[in-house]
Structures are given as C-alpha cells and as structure tokens.
Amino acid sequence: MPSDTPLDIGKLRIGLVGYGEVGRILAEDLRARGLAVAACDTKLADASAAAPLHEHADRHGVTLVASHTLLAAHADLVICAVTADQTRAAADACTTGLRREAFFLDLNSASPKAKRDAAAAIEVAGGRYVEAAVMTSVPPYRIKVPMLLGGPHAAALAPALDALGFAARPQSGELGVVSATKMCRSVMIKGLEALVIESFTAARAYGVEAAVLASLAETFPGIDWERQGAYFFQRVIEHGRRRSEEMFESAATVREAGLKSFMAQAIAECQASVADTAEAGVFGRRGEKGFARNPDWRIEADRILASRPARNDEETR
C-alpha cells in the first residue's frame, strides 16, 4: 500500500492514547460526529483514578481498552495526547499492535529529538507518524484548536483531519520543525506566566502591587494586567504540572540547538513549584467548584505567601 493512501472517513476507527482533558475533549467532539472512538490511559490501572474516566466514556459512548497494544490493533488513526515526558514511551507502547499504514498523530508538547525518536519507533512498526504542534490552549477551541502538522506523512493526513473537524495545517515535511515552533513559542508564553506569578506575588509581599500594575499599564497600555494576571494564575495553578513538563521539553529544545537553556529551565522550575503548591492543597482541592477560577490573583498570591516556610533574618541578607 503506498504511503500516501488516504483514510476512509466512513469506516474510520480512532484510538486515543491518553484520556485526560485533551483526550476527553477530542473524544466528545469525534463521537458527536458519529465516529467510533476507543481510548486507553495508564490511569485505568488505578481504580480510584479510573472511575471518572469510565463515567465519561460511558456517557459519550467511548470504548475504554486496557492496553496500548489492543488500542493500536483496532485503530486506523491513533491520536496521542499524553504528558510530554511520556511521548516516546507512549509511541513504544503502541508499536506491538500497530496496524500497518495506520496513522499516528502525536499531539504531545515535546522537543524535536523526542518527536523524531517517537517517529522512528512508529515507522519501524509500519505506521505513519505525523507530529502536531498545538499552538494554543485546547479548551476554548476544542477540536478546532489551531495545530501545525509535520513530517513526511503530514500532507496525506491533513484532508482526513479537516473532514473530522480539526483545524490542522501541514507546515513541514521535515520532522521536528513544527515541534521547534511550538517549543520556542512556549518559552515566551509560559515564561510570561512565570514572570507574572513571580513579579505579582513578590509585589504583593512588599505591598507595592498597585504601583507595579500602574507602571505596567503605562508601559504596555494594551494589556489588562489585572485580568491577564488572574488568567495566568488560574492556568498555572490548574495545569502547572503539565506546563512544567512542556517547559522541560522546551529547555531540551534550546539545548538541542546548542544553546544554554537559562530561561526555559527556570520557567519549567517555576511552573513545577506552583504545581507542587497546588498538589499540597494550598489553593483548595482540585475538582472542587472554584478551584483555579479565582478572578482576583491577589487571593492566590496570598495563599502562596502564606505557604512559605519560616525563615530567619540571616536567610534574607
């Protein structure tokens, strides 16, 4: 079968690797189009973590399967949406069951090298690997989130994705290009989040936040810093772990270019620190109403400040 053989949308069977926020959103939108969707997730091995996944799958008519091998064996299109550090492992896990000429669409926010390594595993198994760079947050756009496609099979997959409702555009036939685009962008976007959280929280500690905000508004009058600050706090509190993993991949991307990852590494550590704080319950319990939805960033900054370990005067000198 030639490598540019298109998918038959009418008979398409889709397998989702990863049934987290992104996986569930895609599952809902694909099922709404009447498509057969199966999914697997490592959380299915934990009864307590699996319960909400089963509830969601039952509600939307998604078939949950116990292994990546079983999922890949019955899918014409595998869509992988896991945490960045699991990019290669997820691809490897699908290789034993992957159908020949099946497409493997990798949505993970990983470095160019990680994507090329994953692609090599899929290609050896007879599949067609396509890397995707998701260029903004998924929830507001859902399946229509803008994404760039890369790799030698990107152009062959693009028409099918368009028919499925995706907003995917082939960008490069070379693996790693669209991932580099995403990772370099993330240094800026996640970096702004980290800068705002650190700056605003420190300003709050010193009682100078009003002056800082006024100065920012004068320098950047097109930005509503109150609203933007609240949004950045919300996103990092809710998704800091995933964002930190993406930023560690961004740091790897910078290093792969032969540069020192001064900022990307620090941004990753800042995001991870907020994730640690969230997991400690400082911002409330995840899943409860209002978690990571506070419209006033000061409340969240005060929680961070209240969680600081006790210090002595010598530590501040």
Q: Do 17 and 104 fall into the same domain?
A: yes
Helix (H, G, I), strand (E, B) or coil at 262: helix
User: What amino acid is encoded at 258 in this protein?
Assistant: G
How many structural domains compose the chain? 2
Q: Would you tell me the crossing angle of helices 225-256 and 177-206 to the nearest 10 degrees?
A: 130
Report if residue 203 sits inside a domain.
yes
- Residues ≥6 apart with Cβ < 8 Å to 235: 137, 193, 243, 292
pLDDT at residue 316 greater than cutoff 60: no
Report pLDDT for 311.
65
Are 35 and 155 part of one and the same domain? yes
Sequence-distant (≥ 6) Cβ neighbours of residue 15 within 8 angstroms: 37, 38, 39, 40, 71, 72, 74, 75, 77, 78, 79
Instruction: Say yes or no: 68 and 186 in one domain.
Output: no
- Name every residue whose Cβ is closer than 8 Å to that of residue 276 and which is 6 or more positions away in sequence: none
Q: Residue 289 pLDDT > 90, yes or no?
A: no
- Let me know whether 74 and 50 are in one domain: yes
pLDDT tens digits along 20-43: 999 999 999 999 999 999 999 999
Lowest-confidence pick of 3-17, 243-257, 275-289: 3-17
Residues 185 and 142 in one domain: no
User: 77: which strand partners?
Assistant: 14, 103
Phi, psi of 41 (to 5 degrees): -155, 140
Same-domain pairing of 117 and 257:
no
| Same-domain check for residues 84 and 165 | yes
In a domain, 2, yes or no: no
Instruction: Please determine, for residue 10, whether its predicted confidence score (pLDDT) is greater than 80.
Output: no
- Same domain for 212 and 127: no
Mean per-residue pLDDT of the chain: 94
Single out the residue in 175, 192, 218 at which a domain terminates: 175
- In the predicted model, what is the mean pLDDT of residues 181-193? 97
Q: Is residue 128 part of a domain?
A: yes
Whether residue 81 is predicted with pLDDT greater than 70 in this model: the reply is: yes
- Could you report the per-residue pLDDT of 109-151, keeping only the tens digit for each? 999 999 999 999 999 999 999 999 999 999 999 999 999 999 9
Q: At what angle are helices 225-256 and 262-279 packed, to 10 degrees?
A: 120
CA 121 vs CA 129, 148, 154: distances in Å: 9, 21, 17
Return the closest-CA partner of residue 30 out of 63, 68, 74.
63
Structure tokens at 68: 């990546």
Q: Which of 164, 200, 165 is CA-nearest to residue 299?
A: 200
pLDDT of residue 314 exceeding 60, the answer is no
pLDDT exceeds cutoff 50 at 169 = yes
The upper half-sphere exposure of residue 111, i.e. CA atoms within 13 Å in the direction of its Cβ, equals 18
Does 302 have pLDDT greater than 80?
A: yes
Range of the domain at 149: 9-175
> What pLDDT is stored for residue 9 in this prediction?
76
User: Within this chain, do residues 171 and 191 fall inside the same structural domain, yes or no?
Assistant: no
The token pair at 292 is 């990571």
The model's pTM: 0.89
Residue 313 vs residues 232, 246, 302, 310: alpha-carbon distances, Å:
31, 36, 21, 10
CA distance 187 to 64: 35
Q: Output the domain CATH number for residue 44.
A: 3.40.50.720
317 within a domain of the structure (yes/no) = no
In a domain, 81, yes or no: yes
308, 304, 236: which is closest to 275 by C-alpha? 236
Q: Pick from 110, 141, 175: which residue ends a domain?
A: 175
pLDDT at 245: 95
**Domain-located, residue 269:** yes
Q: Is residue 187 located within the same domain as residue 170?
A: no
Amino acid 3: pLDDT: 57
The mean-pLDDT minimum among 7-11, 34-38, 176-180, 229-233 falls in 7-11
Tell me whether residue 1 is in a domain.
no
Residue 8: band (very low, low, confident or very high) from pLDDT cuts 50, 70, 90: confident
Read off the CATH number of the domain in which 214 is found: 1.10.1040.10
- Asked whether residue 53 falls in the same domain as residue 165, the answer is yes
Domain boundary among 123, 155, 175: 175
- Would you call 69 exposed, middle or buried from its count of C-beta atoms within 10 A (0-12, 13-18, 19+)? middle
Q: Is residue 314 part of a domain?
A: no
Q: Do residue 142 and residue 184 come from a single domain?
A: no
Q: Is the pLDDT of residue 2 over 70?
A: no
